[in-house]
Structure 1
């Protein structure tokens, strides 16, 4: 089977996973919580992304809190913000090495070109430590990782 075909099949499987989760559990399942509700209040946290750095790189939130992340790429390269567990991000980083121009269309992640801004609205429903990282090849390896502690 050609690599392109395998990739297309893998993407198809990933694209139906939220649908299957929706059918089985009532909503898509994410390790760090769930997409936020724009009708409810949220605390805003601005994060700047630059070459191999997030500022701030450590964030503390309360379980049940809704956060509006305002993400600004102030660097000279594309950067990502993908909120998940370390294990999930490491697995996704391996896929990104094979497909470095992959775009994300997930409520817990975004890829931004230089000088661009985006928002992610997220409700932290689970306690623990989660990470946000840039999975563009080599960026995570060079330290582009941040952490969210949910208490």
Structure 2
């Protein structure tokens, strides 16, 4: 995922993933403000700590079946996980107003 302020968009390397395949999600934030990505509900197994956030990021709560990755301004963050259930899932930025600005997308998990 690549957040860029100039065009307010998210770009992807791949949006179709396979169930039980190990994936590393990289959130690149070029903006001067924080961004994140959340998929909920989403059943997955994590390899680096589950909910990945910083102490300054308080827009969400840690819940089961929620994939959350946060990147402070001008930083990059990663989360490695294995999706467990096939389907199409919506993801979005949870920072207030960002979802409404179009920071939304979908990923498809297949068998």
Normalising by structure 2, report the TM-score.
Answer: 0.69
Query: What is the Cα-based RMSD across aligned positions, in Å?
Result: 2.5
Q: Which has the higher contact order (CA 8 A, sep 6+)?
A: 2
1:95-137 per-residue CA deviation (whole Å, 9 max, x = no partner) reads xxxxxx5155757212222211111111111010112210111
Distance 2:13 2:105 in 1: 4
| Aligned counterpart, 1:49 | 3
Structure 1: runs of 5+ lacking an equivalent: 1-46, 86-100
Partner residue of 2:97? 138
Counterpart of 1:135 in 2: which secondary structure?
coil
Q: Which runs of 4+ in 1 moved over 3 A?
A: 103-107
CA contact (8 A) 1:131 1:148 kept: yes
Q: Which of the two has greater helix per residue?
A: 1
Aligned residue pairs total: 91
How far the C-alpha of 1:83 sits from its partner, in A, is 2.0
Compared with structure 1, are the counterparts of its residues 67 and 74 closer, same or farther at alpha carbon in structure 2 (3 Å cutoff)? same
- Name 1:79's counterpart in structure 2: 35
In terms of fraction of residues, the more strand-rich structure is: 2
